[in-house]
Amino acid sequence: MARDELSDDLRTFFTERHLATLTTLRANGTPHVVPVGVTFDLETRTARVITSGSSVKARHVRDGAGTARVAVCQVDGRRWTTLEGVATLRDDAASVADAVTRYTARYRQPRENPARVVLEIAVDRVLGNQ
């Protein structure tokens, strides 16, 4: 699926309740893969993952300082999509609240977490089979 061919099927896939995996890179270049909930705004091509600021994935993105390449992949049978891009850690209240609202719409209200941050992924590559 080419970057400019984001289909209606892809839009639907990202409204259904599916968990995904997020891959970040350790300092030595090895992958760190964890299950996450993810939202994807097709218009701005921004994926968002909420997490605790002390998590390993948050640390990897923070240490990348605007250059942290990541991939988030969701699979449902033969349907799958991988979003690749550069992640930025946001800890301001407005960004976190927006990400929580999006997460709640797709999954459920997350538990309270005063240390919550959001990993915003500027998606520059979309792969998949819809």
Give the H/E segment covering residue 71. strand 68-76
pLDDT of residue 21: 98
Of 6, 8, 12, the closest CA to residue 76 belongs to 12
pLDDT of residue 2: 43
Kindly report whether the global pTM for this prediction surpasses the value 0.95.
no
Helix ranges (DSSP H) in the chain: 8-13, 56-64, 93-106
Residue spans per domain, the chain: 8-129
pLDDT of residue 5: 57
pLDDT digit of tens for each residue in the chain (130 aa)? 444 456 788 888 888 999 999 999 998 999 999 999 999 998 899 999 999 999 999 999 999 877 899 999 999 999 999 999 999 999 999 999 999 999 999 999 999 999 999 999 999 999 988 7
What amino acid is encoded at 27 in this protein? A
Rounded Cα distance between 73 and 54, Å, is 22
Q: Hey, how many other C-beta atoms are within 10 angstroms of the C-beta on 59?
A: 16
pLDDT of residue 12: 86
Q: Out of 3.40.630.30, 3.40.50.1010, 2.30.110.10, 3.40.30.10, which CATH number does the structure's domain 8-129 have? A: 2.30.110.10
Rg (CA), the chain: 14
